[in-house]
Amino acid sequence: MAEKVTGDSGRAPRRALVVTVSDRVSVGGRDDASGDHLAERLTEMGFIVERALVPDEAADISKLLQSSVDGRALILTTGGTGLTPRDITPQATKSVLEYEIPGIPELMRAEGARSTPYAYLSRSVAGVLHRCLIINLPGSTRGARESMAALEPILNHALGTLAGPFDHDSPGRTRPSGS
């Protein structure tokens, strides 16, 4: 089980947003089991969780991500990471990121591949926008569950690192010559 997000610091719970990217879910044609699971796990980990739903439209996804980062430590998307022409979540996410964190999707794919080689077909992306960690998870319930399980051991550390303080930016700290 992952460490509670509030940790020992007494810090207020972190805010997270779970975004379901799906044409079918957005029109009520399918249940949102993946989004439900992610929200439940994050709540159990101590996050204050909000939800959003968006169709598979790059402009809608990008706009939602950009407008949702302030005040949130984490945004998880579920859906749109496959190989079909409508699976555009990774492209929309990359368009707004300041920088990527390639090890996170690599971890999720490797963990998912323990149960199915199809996990390697996921085009998930992870990165940072305004100190908010954004991670694309698969839309399948199984893929979302396995990816979330892979994230749990590293999530608190990643978010703590992004939140700071940043010792390498501390006043009075000297850098080695040639840095």
How many beta carbons lie within 10 A of that of residue 158, not counting itself? 19
CATH T-level fold of 15-163? Molybdenum Cofactor Biosythetic Enzyme; Chain A (3.40.980)
Nearest 5°: phi and psi at 122? -70, 135
The pLDDT of residue 12? 74
CA 45 to chain centre: 14
- H or E element, residue 4: none
Point out the least confidently predicted range of 2-6, 72-76, 144-148, 168-172.
2-6
Question: Longest C-alpha distance within the chain, in Å?
Answer: 61
Q: How far is the C-alpha of 135 from the C-alpha of 128, rounded, in Å?
A: 9
Question: Which residue type does 137 have?
Answer: L
Q: What percent of the chain has pLDDT over 90?
A: 78
Highest mean predicted confidence (pLDDT) among 12-16, 31-35, 67-71: 67-71
> What is the tens place of the pLDDT at every residue in 66-97?
999 999 999 999 999 999 999 999 999 999 99
pTM given for the model: 0.87
| The pLDDT of residue 131 is above 90 | yes
| The pLDDT of residue 11 is above 80 | no
Q: Are 122 and 108 in contact (CB under 8 A)?
A: yes
- What 3-state class would DSSP assign to 99? strand
The pLDDT of residue 168? 61
Cα→Cα distances 49→1, 25, 31, 36, 94, Å: 19, 19, 19, 11, 23
